[in-house]
Chain A
Amino acid sequence: MTTSTRSAGSAAGNTLRRGRRRPVESIVQVLLVAAALVSIVTTVGIIIALANPTIEFFQQVSIVEFFTGTSWTPTFLQKAYGVLPLVSATIVVTVIALVIAVPIGLGSAIYLAEYAKPGTRKVLKPVVELLAGVPTVVYGFVALFALNPLLQKWWPTENGPGFQNLLIAGIAMGIMIVPTIASISEDAMSSVPRSLREGAYALASTKMQVSTRVVVPAAISGIVAAVVLGISRAVGETMIVTIAGGLTSDRVVFNPLEGAATMTAFIANISSGDIPVGSLDYDSVFAVGALLFLITFALNAVSIRMVRRFREVYE
């Protein structure tokens, strides 16, 4: 039965030289490298987009004023370029968000990883992941129109929460990042090997002891990575603070019941208006953007390192 023009014998002794050109292989390689370069170009693009206006900005505003000034009023007649009000508002919102999200997120993760029955977990884990996909503009909306009226009702004093305030923005942001923290820490806890748990149970540990003294410490770098990612999302989140956080930036606000503009809220507010290109106002957007980029870059670096560590230990 001859089904092929080649037979086993005829191949023998044939040259092994690269006779056939394989143009597809080379074309594909070029395409792949080109695709991979897009992400490099993106980073370079971000840096260029931020650098030029930022440099122009610092030709007119001293770095010392930028980092130590306590008033940020680029749109006022009396212009001031101290970034501290934006930074402090960002910190206040982030801290409130973490106070809410870390315990609830970790608790949910411990429950899912250690207590929930496999069937329950199989249903709940996807729901948590699903909730992580709710667009942030939705959280801004509910913060402003659902949560804040509630807060004002419970707190009916003179100096109660304003129409927009940092507290409600922080709470909404906390709710927003719970699924992220829960999902990532749950992954870290589930990847702790069974043998470690069994070792502890064999020493007559209770479930709580195993959870808190074995699983959580073993998964700690994954948990830290989840928290750092949560911080990074809180710092970079825009819509909630723009909608519900307020716009004040002429002084440093620490009272969470007042409204104040975060870095992102300022960028969103001023750039969505009509600002002349090349003006100092325009450049100030990029200067704040550069600061934001550097902060999140540092946070990402920590998070990447942490994730790598927990991968190294158990994979």
Chain B
Amino acid sequence: MSTPTLTPTRPDPSAPGAALTQRRSRPGELAFRVAMQSCLAVAFGVLASLLGWVLIKGWNRLDSRLWTEMPTGLTSRLDTAGVQSALVGTVWIISLVAVICLPIGVLSAIYLEEYANNTRWYNRLLELNIQNLAGVPSIIFGILGLGIIARTLGLGFTVITAAIVLSLLVLPVVIIASREAIRAVPQSIRQASYALGATKWQTVSRQVLPSAVPGIATGSILALSRAIGEAAPLLVLGAVTFITFNPDGLDSAYTALPIQIFTFIARSQSEYTELAAGAIVLLLTIVLAMNSIAIFVRNRFEKRW
């Protein structure tokens, strides 16, 4: 390597001691990076412009009429139409889903994480069953509601039927999120509690659950927000009419925001399109606000043990 040469040659870049500053240009690298970056940019760009378009489309309807007025099927009265009954229906349904789904979901998660012996076949089956339910299309839950809850159990096309169906639909979400939160509580906390003579339930209720609350809350809010946006099961459950009164009980007929939006879309007049856009902005505001709270709770209170 130290042989003197008369003709100047390019230094061998692989020679020991060759300068490290010779930056080899790598066009492929840059192209790849740009490509990956543009994937994300496209994803965000398209979604942002679509949401922006909805906002512009519905701009004229974004006033108090939206929540003070009832929906109408009469084109002549469209000026004074809103989605109050749908908004109230959604509030009814979601409150019921919270009451039905959250306790069952959290208790199931406690069972699976703290009590179940997962070497037993039935507990493994239970776990697989929940994972599978999480992937069953929502319209199938609508069929469950139609065939069993509305007809066989005779609950009809009512608020409570809708709430039960949506509860069962988002139950796996609550269970899976709660299990992860419970699993993240370190074993040493449980052992310390047992070593002081605490019973299993004392340990779970006084140590494990309080520590798992942020994770459980995040999963629960995400689940509820998903339930708010679900339209398909309610479509099967006969919620597609113009309901001009607010639900007044569990056995009341109802409509809900996503279903009301679908009903508006099905009408061809452009006033309905605007009304649909306005209602979508309302729906998105609720759903995205809930999701933001959930993600904030998770990032803020996430415990690092």
A and B touch in the complex (CB under 8 A): yes
Choice from A36, A104, A289 contacting B126 with Cβ under 8 Å = A36
B47 within 8 A of A: yes
A28 within 8 A of B: yes
| Given contact pairs A35-B108, A229-B135, A46 touches B295 in the complex (Cβ within 8 A) | no
How far is the CB of A182 from the nearest CB of chain B, in Å? Answer: 7
| Given contact pairs A36-B107, A39-B130, A135 touches B287 in the complex (Cβ within 8 A) | yes
How far is the CB of A134 from the nearest CB of chain B, in Å? Answer: 7
B196 within 8 A of A: no
| Chain A residue nearest in CB terms to B167 | A38
| Given contact pairs A39-B175, A104-B42, A208 touches B29 in the complex (Cβ within 8 A) | yes
A293 within 8 A of B: yes
B140 A292 Cβ-Cβ under 8 A = yes
| Given contact pairs A25-B199, A49-B146, A303 touches B229 in the complex (Cβ within 8 A) | no
Give the contact stretch, choosing among A67-75, A136-144, A192-200: A136-144
**Complex formed: what's the CA distance from A292 to B140 in Å?**
8
Give the contact stretch, choosing among A58-66, A237-245, A251-259: A237-245
B226 within 8 A of A: yes
B177 within 8 A of A: no
A160 within 8 A of B: no
B232 A138 Cβ-Cβ under 8 A = no
Choice from B33, B135, B232, B265 contacting A300 with Cβ under 8 Å = B135
| Chain A residue nearest in CB terms to B54 | A142
A31 within 8 A of B: yes
B144 A42 Cβ-Cβ under 8 A = yes
B97 within 8 A of A: no
B132 A300 Cβ-Cβ under 8 A = yes
**Complex formed: what's the CA distance from A180 to B258 in Å?**
21
**Complex formed: what's the CA distance from A178 to B44 in Å?**
10
A232 within 8 A of B: yes
**Complex formed: what's the CA distance from A207 to B28 in Å?**
11
**Complex formed: what's the CA distance from A277 to B138 in Å?**
21
Choice from B171, B230, B283, B288 contacting A38 with Cβ under 8 Å = B171
**Complex formed: what's the CA distance from A206 to B31 in Å?**
13
**Complex formed: what's the CA distance from A243 to B250 in Å?**
30
Collect the chain B residues with CB atoms within 8 Å of residue A99's CB: none
Contact with A along B118-146 (1 / 0, CB 8 A): 00000000101111111111111111101
| Chain A residue nearest in CB terms to B126 | A36
Collect the chain A residues with CB atoms within 8 Å of residue B236's CB: 267-268, 271-272
| Chain A residue nearest in CB terms to B103 | A35
B44 A127 Cβ-Cβ under 8 A = yes
A53 within 8 A of B: yes
Per DSSP, chain A at the interface is: helix
B262 A243 Cβ-Cβ under 8 A = yes
A179 within 8 A of B: yes
B-facing residues in A22-49 (Cβ within 8 Å): 22, 24-25, 28-29, 31-36, 38-40, 42-43, 45-46, 48-49
| Given contact pairs A35-B103, A296-B135, A239 touches B273 in the complex (Cβ within 8 A) | no
A118 within 8 A of B: no
B-facing residues in A146-187 (Cβ within 8 Å): 146-147, 175, 178-179, 182
B-facing residues in A85-113 (Cβ within 8 Å): 103-108, 110-112
A201 within 8 A of B: no
B-facing residues in A220-266 (Cβ within 8 Å): 229, 232, 235-239, 242-243, 264
Choice from A22, A50, A111 contacting B40 with Cβ under 8 Å = A111
Most buried by B among A206, A289, A292: A289
A126 within 8 A of B: yes
| Given contact pairs A46-B136, A267-B236, A28 touches B201 in the complex (Cβ within 8 A) | yes
B213 within 8 A of A: no
| Chain B residue nearest in CB terms to A111 | B36
B277 within 8 A of A: yes
| Given contact pairs A126-B295, A127-B44, A236-B136, A107 touches B143 in the complex (Cβ within 8 A) | no
Collect the chain B residues with CB atoms within 8 Å of residue A52's CB: 147
Contact with A along B241-277 (1 / 0, CB 8 A): 0000000000000000010011001000000010011
**Complex formed: what's the CA distance from A243 to B39 in Å?**
27
Collect the chain A residues with CB atoms within 8 Å of residue B115's CB: 29, 32
Most buried by A among B50, B116, B291: B50
**Complex formed: what's the CA distance from A277 to B115 in Å?**
43
**Complex formed: what's the CA distance from A297 to B54 in Å?**
35
A140 B265 Cβ-Cβ under 8 A = yes
Choice from B35, B40, B47, B229 contacting A112 with Cβ under 8 Å = B40
| Chain B residue nearest in CB terms to A41 | B168
How far is the CB of B231 from the nearest CB of chain A, in Å? Answer: 5
**Complex formed: what's the CA distance from A36 to B222 in Å?**
20
A285 within 8 A of B: yes
**Complex formed: what's the CA distance from A300 to B108 in Å?**
21
A-facing residues in B199-239 (Cβ within 8 Å): 199-201, 222, 225-226, 228-232, 235-236, 238
Which residues of A are at the interface with B, using a C-beta cutoff of 8 A?
Answer: 22, 24-25, 28-29, 31-36, 38-40, 42-43, 45-46, 48-50, 52-53, 103-108, 110-112, 114-115, 124, 126-131, 133-138, 140-142, 144-147, 175, 178-179, 182, 206-208, 211-212, 229, 232, 235-239, 242-243, 264, 267-268, 271-272, 277, 285-286, 289, 292-293, 296-297, 299-301, 303-304
**4 cross-chain pairs, A with B, having the tightest CB-CB distances, nearest first:** A236-B137, A107-B39, A135-B229, A49-B147
Beyond the given pairs A114-B36, A238-B139, A289-B143, 9 more chain A to chain B contacts, judged by CB atoms under 8 angstroms and listed by A's residue number, are A107-B38, A111-B37, A126-B299, A133-B222, A175-B50, A178-B43, A271-B238, A292-B137, A300-B132
